[in-house]
Amino acid sequence: MRSIINALVTVIFVVVFGIGIGLASYGALISVAILAAIIGIPVILGFLFRPKFEFYDYYFLRASRRNSQQIDYSEIKSVEKYRSSIRIELKTQEGDRFGPRGILIPADPKLSDGADLSAWLKSKIPSPPPAGSGSDGRAPSEPSA
């Protein structure tokens, strides 16, 4: 929302400034129009191609214009706040050539219960089994010397 307001203020400033200068000189109006296009086109394209996220009990969807990806919460390695965004690091899977995968959610909104989305996502990560526990659930025996 903040980036939309910043973009609108910038466009209004450029238009008002351009009209004032444009009355004095037609050539300056063309340069202001080019400047407005240089600023406006990336902002508009950024909003058109931003991925959408939908959160459910056991997974979340990341949908973009090209594809949709379903990610189980068990695939999440860590959730961290990064400025006003959420950085999700996914567990490395066999065959990943480029290392751990990550997802950046551009905001950390409050949920209806007042908690942050990042805190809610952290609560959805399944806790790992205790280190050293046997497959039968009993505590491991002491190693013999």
pLDDT of 51-67, one tens digit each?
Answer: 888 888 888 888 887 78
Q: Which residues pair with 34 in a beta bridge?
A: none
pLDDT of 76-109, one tens digit each?
Answer: 888 888 888 888 888 876 666 666 678 888 887 8
Does residue 141 carry a pLDDT above 60?
A: no
Task: Report d(CA 87, CA 122) in Å as an integer.
Answer: 11
Helix 26-48, helix 2-24: angle, nearest 10: 170
